Structure formats: C-alpha cells, structure tokens
Structure 1
Amino acid sequence: MKKLLNKILGTKVLSESEFTEKYLATISKRHPNVTYEIMEPLVIKANFGENGEITHFLDNSYREYKLGPKELNETIERYSNASTNLYKKNEQINIDRIVPVIKPSDYFEQLKNLGSSTKDYKIPELVWEKYNEDLIIVYAEDRDKDINYFTQDEFEKLNIDRITLLENSIENLNNVVPKIEKVGENGNFGLIAGGDYEVSLILMQNIWTKENFDVDGDIVIAIPNRDLVFITGSNDEKSIEKLQKTVLKSYETGNHSISTNYYKWNGKKFEII
C-alpha cells in the first residue's frame, strides 16, 4: 500500500544504500576534516585520526524517512544536526541534565548487531541499570539537539553518587520535559511530552494514580516506541485487544522501538504481564 501511494504521489523511496550516500554527503559538508567510510548500508564510520572514531547507525533515521519520503532533506538535516554533539565528546557533562532513558533489555545486543560490520567494534560501556525483566534504564545527558549517552569512564569523572543517580535523574527529567499532557477518555489514555522521553515517564511514580488515570482495574500500559505510551485498565479486555494491532504496527514501523509487551503498575513500578 505504501509503495502504491508513493507511486501515485510521485515520491521515490530511496534504498538503504542511496539514503546512506545522501546522509554521508550531508555530514561530510558539515565536518570536512573528518574521514568517512560506509561500512554497509545504514552504517557510516567517522575517523578523527588521533582523536579516535565514532560510528553512525542510520536505521532510525531511515525508518522515519520511509514514513514520510517527501521529508527526506528535513529528516537527514535533523538527525545529522543531532549527531553534532558526538563530535564534542570532550565537553563537560552537565549533571543537571542527566536523564534516565528506557530501553529494551536487549539494547546492547542490538548495538552489537548494528556494529558487527565494523572492524574491532566494541559495545560502548554505558551507564545503566535494570528496571524489570524486560526493560533497562540507560543514563544520558539531555542536550539542545540530541541525547548524549556517556560511558562509565566519563561518568566516574563526575564524582556522582551512583546510589542516588536514578532519583536525581528523574528530578532532572521533570525539569527537562515540556508540559506533560494526557490525551484520551473513557479509560483509554496516552501521554505527550515532547517526543523524546514519553516512555521515561514510567519512572515518575507520582503520576501513576487512579486520580490521573481513571481506568477499569489496575493501570496497564503499552510502550511500542519511546514517544508512545498507551494507557488502559487491566479489566478492560476489549481495549487491550484493540490496542494489539496498533502496538505491533507502531513497534515495527516507528522509531526507537521499545516493546510489544504490556506492563501493569504495582504501586511502585511497572511489571510485564
């Protein structure tokens, strides 16, 4: 259907290789002193010589581009702008901007698979902890144009108490996100908070009350992508069943996929059901 629609509209969808070439042309102009190499479609390595190298994985940007092919230049511009901070790893981390980011438990395995084509690729030793058996919390620094995932070595230089890291990062998140909006009615709701941290809101214990979400039974959520939080009640079988196709489609076609599972609020955190 999508291919047919694009044909009717006269919009050509670039292949992964074509998109990678287009992306490379954009970042090469922005950083002309960096040497780039396409490792495979959607994987570009940037070499800084003595200052090391980084790898750009374009799977999320390509996935978003396919959802709106006419926005090719805008999509590449936005993602390449966001990657600019990757070239500034020596900048001091602002501890007041450290936030918790929810990821699937196989996140590092995904990174390993994405980097498998890069010689001597090592999974970055990020700062993280387990949330439940299905999800983890990865700590990052919120910056103007991107989310900076820092390493364990970088974190240790900050002299921050690891015990209070989660509590402090949730407080930072509350200051970072724009106004949190609840949408929906009749026991079915969603959350809007700027597009980057909707799923991280599951860590804010004070918002998960029946006063805020009048649902049938315990609060149940689905989080197919980082910007989508569907909320209903554990006794509302029709709503849960109705959500299944939407959740699966969002997970398969959206950006920054999280999970197709459902989670129930136990009063302190969400558990997989």
Structure 2
Amino acid sequence: MGIFDFFSGGPMTQEKFVQIVLAELRKLDPASQYQYNAERFQIARPDDGFINLGNIYQEYCRAEKNERDAVLRRFLRNCVSTKSYELPAEFDDIHPDLLPVIRSRFYLESVLLQAKVRGNDALEVPQQVIGEHLALSLVYDLPSAMRTIGQTDLESWEVSFYEAVEAARHNLEQMGEVAFATLDSCVYASATGDNYDASRLVLLDLIRRFKVNGDYVAMVPNRDTLVVTGSDDEHGLALLAKIAEDSHEKPRPISTVALRLEGDE
C-alpha cells in the first residue's frame, strides 16, 4: 500500500491532504524543512517562500482517484524545482519565454501581503490593471512551472514593464493553435487548455474575430476559461453568466465579473 493509499480512507479533509503533501515533499526534497501553517492553509518553504494549498487541494479532490497521485506529484515537483531557480542574466535569453498572466487583483495583493508578513518587504510584482478587478503580470514559462517576474528582475535586465509586456503578448500570440468552441452561435468559449486561456483576454485582435451583437463582453472565471459574447445579445449574456458560474467552481478561479470592450479598452 502506497502512502497516498494509506491516507485515502474516508473524506479527503484538509488535514489528511496536508499529511499527504508533507510526506511527498519529504521524498522529493529530503534535505529541506517544510512547515505547515494551518491558519493560512499553506506550507512555508526553506527559501522564505510558501506553497498555497487551496487550488491544488481542489484539483486533487476533483481528480479521479487513479489520477490524484500524478496531479499532486506534478504540482510538488514544480514547487521543489523552482524554489531556488535563477533567471537568465540577460533579457534576450528570457525574452522568448515571457508570457502574460491574468489574475484577480485580490489574489495578487494577497500574495504580496503574505510575503510582507513573512518579512519580505522588498517583493514587488509589477502589474497592469484591467477593469477594476483584474491585473496582468508576467511569468517565466518553464517546461513544467511558471516563475513570477518581479520589479527587481526587470531592473536587472534594464527593461521597462511595458517592454516586457509587449514581448510577452507577442509570445502569447505565437503559441500554437488557439481553440474556441461556439455555443448557440452567440458565445465563444476557450478550449485550448494550455493554462493561458484567460491571458488571451488581452489579445484584442483575436477577440475581434468573433461575430457578436453589440460591444464585446468577456469573462475569465478561471485560468483555463475565457468566454466572449455581445452586449446586445440577451441569450448570449445569460449563457455567458451560466458558463462563468459553473467554471468559477473549478480550480484556479479568477473572477465572474464581466468586462466590456469599448475601442481598445
């Protein structure tokens, strides 16, 4: 019987899940010490970072039982492999792997606040506000993880946030085939599944390809979902709201507040 099987009896509570996580971390990174914070439902890492468990707990519980081990191991391997990862010294070397990510402003600010609570007052993540509730930031897209780009990273490369965002936006435009499903001929829902569907909210040329009634209205309920319809389409708006409500219950939630595109904003 494996360690995951041992803990799997009965409902998967947060307490059981934490024991599974800590056991796996001890196997993956035996030389490091990880401390669990029950109040914040996170694990402190030896590099003064932390592992938030909320999203991966949801993903683990929603996964089929025969897939749970792989889901968790993949997540934890990413955490261990990036805990001391060094970025390239030159912007030209990281330029091709920069990508934009869309998150709720609340999420980003809460991460920064947690860092300050842990004594890291210097952490600053540059962001571009979208609407009033979303923000665009940048990540270094690794083969199996994302590494957030901070202000000190940009300063070390001597590039502005604007320059880095333009590079990241271009990279996103060049990423393979983008898949969208058309629902009732009035709603367009992303189906690419590459962790950057929500980020495509900023690709206005892509959104303008869709035929809608009125202005473009979009939502990013979670990281893997972008839905678009028209402001004058009552059925489309109702369907968008239903899709967003269902999608927001999935892991990696962002926001169910809609955005309306007027001109280039």
Fold-level match, TM-score > 0.5? Answer: yes
Alignment of 1:202-221 (within 5 A): 202-209=201-208, 212-221=209-218
Which residue in 2 is equivalent to 1:53? Answer: 48
Q: Is residue 99–residue 141 contact of structure 2 (8 Å, CA) maintained in 1?
A: yes
| Alignment root-mean-square deviation, CA | 2.4
Aligned residue for 2:190, secondary structure, equals: strand
Whether the 8 Å contact between 2:112 and 2:124 is mirrored in structure 1 is: no
Amino acid at match of 1:264: R
Say which SS state the counterpart of residue 132 (structure 2) adopts. Answer: coil
Counterpart selection for 1:15 from 13, 24, 32? 13
Gap change, CA 1:60 and 1:113, over 3 Å in 2: farther
Equivalent position SS for 1:254: coil
Residue pair 2:187, 2:240 contacting (<8 A) in 1 also: no
Partner of 2:256: 260
Q: TM-score, normalised by structure 1?
A: 0.82
Which residue pairs with 1:174 in the alignment?
Answer: 173
Residue 85 of structure 1, CA deviation:
3.5
Distance 1:30 1:201, change over 3 A: same
- 1:87 has 2:77 as partner: no
Aligned to 2:4: none
How many residues are treated as equivalent by the alignment? 251
Per-residue CA shift, 1:192-238, capped at 9, x if unaligned? 233311111111122122xx212222221121101111121111112
What TM-score do you get using the length of structure 2 for normalisation?
0.84
Q: Name the CA distance, whole Å, in 1 between partners of 2:141 and 2:252.
A: 16
Identify if the C-alpha distance between structure 1 residues 126 and 119 changes in structure 2 by more than 3 Å, giving closer, same or farther. closer
Unaligned runs of 5+ in 1: 1-9
> Are residues 226 and 139 of structure 1, via their aligned partners in 2, closer, same or farther at CA, if it must alter by over 3 Å?
same
- Matched residue, 1:184: 182
Which residue in 2 is equivalent to 1:24?
22
1:97 alignment partner in structure 2: 97
| Maintained 8 Å contact 1:45/1:53 | yes
Identity %: 21
CA separation of 1:181 and 1:30: change in aligned 2, threshold 3 A: same
* Inter-partner Cα distance in structure 1 for 2:131 and 2:68: 37
